[in-house]
Amino acid sequence: MLRRWFAIPLWKRVLAALVLGLAFAIVAPSATPWVQFMGDLFVRAIRMLVAPIVLVTIASGITTLADPRRLGSVGGRAVGLFALTTAIAVAVGMLVAVLVRPGEGVPLGSAAPYALGEPVTPYDQLIGIIPLNIVDALARGDMLALIFVAILVGVATVLAGEAGKPFASLLQSTSAVLLRMVGIVMEATPFGVFALIANAVAQNGMAVFVNVAWLALAVVLGSAIQILLTHTLILRLLARVPVGRFLFEITDALAVAFSTASSGATLPVAMRIAENNLGVGRSIASTVLPLGASIGKDGTAMYVGLLSMFALQAFGTPLTPTIYALVLLTGALAAFGTAPVPSASLFMLAAVLSAAGVSPEQTALVVGFVLPFDRLLDMTRTVPSAVANLTVTTTVARWEGELDDAVLRAPPVE
């Protein structure tokens, strides 16, 4: 029986688990707490690996580049592409909001306000990149701080020359072990997805979207447009890979992204898929993917643009060209600084709306209205973030000559 189970491709097992979880929540919603532990254990197992993978694999990837100047090329291209897709995502969210107009007539006055506190300033974000304590950064999963430390360790190892080679070998060996651990944890994905989907639907219910049907529709449309237009064009024109096959090969990562609603939790799976399914070189995958988990937030960017317009429509704020420009600019910057955890985009909303003249009290009403059913919306918008990360990584690998076409174009394993 075990051999038959493992002989089934993982994506098929995950898809079946998703359908079964949905059916279980509909048939026996009161029984979903009994399976919740499986989802919690799965998420904890994945997030346990995120911080060490970011620290070790980036440093390991830099040592395989062997040339600090090449690191600048890879990093510059990756950041440039992520900035482009993020800005487009904010614009897509704004455009969908203008067309669907989900905020018109929304009774925000009946919502329980949810205060967000003071938004993090750009200065604090900049200073926080350099941690006071590496162990504390690891414990908190501070992605930007870990990326900084990893780059510093990797570059220092390369510059150390012969003396640094044993440490480089240790980093690469540790990276291989961590990725093997990801493979082991991934075998539990069907059980985790089953429990997570069942609990999300049972707690929120499909009927909850009656109150925010237009906002939910806008999130789905924005996510689809970003994937099917922006990412598809990049894959076809810049990466020059078959789009259908690309999307098929990343199914496992998308299932994890949807079920966990966390870009950080998706990272270990994305790294395995980039190397094994897409043919991306380890040096590129281990450098670009962790960077993308911190700044490649297309779903968040789209949602910030969409929800900002939703709020402005609800409050009847006149939408001038200046307002549009402010939302686009501050939305892109806010998305870059959003933590890769569920519902984090809601907590960046204050920075965008304050720039558009919305008071903190009004922002609290918007968040209070959306927060009760944000989990299912968050699951949807995490998918384009996962696609963006793998799209940019594949494109950079193509530019750097680190993409093995034979791996991606090989016949799929049934």
CA 384 to chain centre: 8
- In the block, residue with structure tokens 């994506």: 11
Measured CA to CA, the distance from residue 271 to residue 252 in angstroms comes to: 11
Residue 414 placed within a domain:
no
State phi, psi for 106 to the nearest 5 degrees.
Answer: -75, 130
In terms of Cα–Cα distance, which of 171, 173, 182 is closest to 56? 171
* Helix (H) or strand (E) run with residue 110 in it: none
Residue 238 placed within a domain:
yes
Q: 346 is written with which tokens?
A: 């809601």
- Residue-level pLDDT at 107: 67
Measured CA to CA, the distance from residue 152 to residue 63 in angstroms comes to: 11
Note the pLDDT tens digit of each residue in 57-79. 778 877 776 565 666 778 788 88
Residue 117 placed within a domain:
yes
Residue 106: domain span: 2-409
> Which residue type occupies 164?
G
Measured CA to CA, the distance from residue 303 to residue 93 in angstroms comes to: 6
Residue 95 placed within a domain:
yes
Q: How many CA atoms lie within 13 A of 117 on its CB side?
A: 3
CATH number, domain containing residue 61: 1.10.3860.10
Total number of domains constituting the chain: 1
Note the pLDDT tens digit of each residue in 279-288. 998 888 888 8
117 pLDDT above the threshold of 60: no
Note the pLDDT tens digit of each residue in 118-147. 555 666 667 777 888 888 777 776 767 877
Residue 254 placed within a domain:
yes
Q: Is the dihedral of CA 376, 377, 378, 380 positive or negative?
A: positive
DSSP state of 31: G
Q: 359 is written with which tokens?
A: 């008071």
What's the average model confidence in pLDDT over 95-124?
A: 70
